[in-house]
Amino acid sequence: MVHLDETYAKYKDKGLVVIGITNEPRGLVDKFVAETGAKHVIVMESGDSGNTYKIKGYPSSFLIDVNGKIVGTSDDGGVNDGAIEAQLQKVLLPPKLPAKLAAVQALLDKRKYADARKLLDKAAADEKATEDDRKAATDAIAWMDEAAKRRMASAAADATAGEYPDAAETYTQIGEQWKGLPAADDAAAALKDLLADPAKKKEIDAAAKFDDVRARIAELKPKKAIPVLRGFLSNWKGTKAGSKAEAILKELEVQANK
């Protein structure tokens, strides 16, 4: 797994985050880190990402873009320097502010953008501040506005493509992170429009329910998971989440009959 650290070191300053996921016990993970000196984040999960991501072999890698979409896998050769560099062109890195604006930096790191904006507006207008500090504040304001614009555009693109649950999730996040700013109001209005359409709302509700179902069946054997999926399908058949549930159900039925 040394190549993961090499890739991380090469691109981390441009916005790449490398996360390893395993369901192995803590002792084995600690031993791995001690032996390899791994620098990237390693998450020990209790669920089953292997099933969720349809992993065909280990190790497997996934390249996920700024909007949370899988754009390449190690199976299809889509995780390489060229693909990573192409995706990093779309990354809008948050600003690194000077020491005088450390309080603002902390708010930005926590995505408390409205509180950060108040301090930034004050700093940008502070005639006693240095030119560099005022410019840093102005640049941070511009970054915040552009970040909101891009998130809104991403959500709108998902909605246009029929990915209503993804759009709803993004609008919700914008509403939470930009609360108190115009972007949050725009996101709330867009989300309201989505939910006003019964067909779109059904897709959104089905996706949320399906997340719960997947969490429930993760620890169940096929014969016990099958009725859970059938119960879900009794209400949500015909949705995209229903199609995913049907695919999993077929696999579990095959396993149960072996």
Q: Is residue 81 a part of any domain in this protein?
A: yes
Q: Is residue 93 a part of any domain in this protein?
A: no
Report pLDDT digits (tens) over 89-126. Answer: 888 888 889 999 999 999 999 999 999 999 999 999 99
pLDDT for the residue 248: 92
Residues 6 and 82 in one domain: yes
How many residues are present in the chain? 258
Report pLDDT digits (tens) over 179-223. Answer: 999 999 999 999 999 999 999 999 999 999 999 998 888 888 999
pLDDT of 239 above 90: yes
Residues 104 and 192 in one domain: yes
Rounded to two decimals, the pTM is: 0.83
Asked if residue 240 lies in contact with residue 206, where contact means CB atoms within 8 angstroms, the answer is: yes
Count the Cβ atoms, other than its own, within 10 Å of residue 208. 13
Q: Is residue 50 a part of any domain in this protein?
A: yes
Asked if residue 23 lies in contact with residue 44, where contact means CB atoms within 8 angstroms, the answer is: yes
CA distance 207 to 67: 17
pLDDT for the residue 113: 96
Give residue 131's domain range: 99-196
* Mean pLDDT for the stretch of residues 3-22: 88
pLDDT for the residue 47: 67
pLDDT for the residue 215: 86
CA distance 180 to 115: 9
Count the Cβ atoms, other than its own, within 10 Å of residue 245. 25
Residues 15 and 71 in one domain: yes
Among residues 181, 196, 211, which one ends one of the domains?
196
Asked if residue 190 lies in contact with residue 171, where contact means CB atoms within 8 angstroms, the answer is: yes
Residues 225 and 174 in one domain: no
Report pLDDT digits (tens) over 42-77. Answer: 888 876 676 667 777 777 888 998 878 888 888 778
Q: Regarding predicted confidence, which is higher, 152 or 22? A: 152
pLDDT of 1 above 60: no
CA distance 177 to 183: 9
Residues 178 and 235 in one domain: no
Q: Is residue 64 a part of any domain in this protein?
A: yes
Closest alpha carbon to 170 in 211, 204, 209, 145? 204
Residues 191 and 228 in one domain: no
Closest alpha carbon to 180 in 126, 111, 244? 111
- 22: domain CATH number is 3.40.30.10
Residues 36 and 113 in one domain: no
Residues 166 and 211 in one domain: no
Residues 213 and 191 in one domain: no
Closest alpha carbon to 83 in 70, 101, 102? 70
Asked if residue 93 lies in contact with residue 15, where contact means CB atoms within 8 angstroms, the answer is: yes
Number of domains in the chain: 3
CA distances from 8 to 45, 86, 102 (A): 21, 15, 26
